[in-house]
Amino acid sequence: MNDAAATDDPLQSTPERVSLRESLGAAGPGFDLALPTGWVRREATAGQRDEMVAAVRGRLLQAHRPDLFARVRPLLDDAFQQMAQASVIAFFTPATGDDEALALPASLVASIRTPTTPGGTLDPLVQALVREAGATPLLGDTRFLRFERESRQRLEDTDFLSTQIVYLTPIPGTRRRRGLQLTATIARPLDTPADDRPLVLIRTLLDLSVSSLTWTAPAQTAGRP
């Protein structure tokens, strides 16, 4: 990885519960992505959770489906709790109420990776990802490492397959001591093969979105729709 970084387990880094600005470094860069149509960037905060809960509640009550809100609310709370535990700093979703937003069975989150050894670099992690997870450069770009893993998951009474695509790149100015990790998760039915064309297209779209990453001045960290 040519100034790049990575994932969740071999692979576990020290979690950090700090602000986006603090995570990237007060004088360091922010980042920007070209997102799928209608998608927006949101910060993984309690305020953002409350805003999303209110928006979902309004739409479902307007549709006379309070029963659905009673089911969705715990799922939103659980999602934000899991993001907090995983040190997620931002996530990317379709804009609420945007009927033209591209609906995908996928999510994308951003987190900060740090070395397990204080004062060290992410190089041992990078080597482990290449050796144990089969990580490779993203679309031939050595700034990024990319690898996939798949697992069987269960939501309420339904089992499904979850494909995680993990991307890692080093944060400029940190001397490879901090990396930005972007993790995409794609859900599909158990009987859907891994080479199913829609799934391949979603993978490609996410790869292209992540490959568009640019570093920006701290005041310009908002994602493009």
Q: Can you give the C-alpha Rg of the chain in angstroms?
A: 18
- pLDDT tens string 170-190: 999 999 999 999 999 999 999
Encoded tokens for 90: 């931002």
**146 sits in which H/E element:** strand 141-155
d(CA 109, CA 33): 12
Q: For 86-121, how does the pLDDT look when each residue is reduced to its tens digit (9 = 90+)?
A: 778 899 988 877 778 888 888 899 999 999 888 899
Domain locations along the chain: 1-15+28-36+104-218
| Residue 37, pLDDT score | 92
Confidence of residue 6 (pLDDT cuts 50, 70, 90): very low
- pLDDT (0 to 100) of residue 160: 92
For position 68, what pLDDT does the model report?
A: 75
For residue 110, which phi and psi values (nearest 5 degrees)? -120, 140
Least confident of 17-31, 57-71, 146-160: 17-31
pLDDT at 31: 94
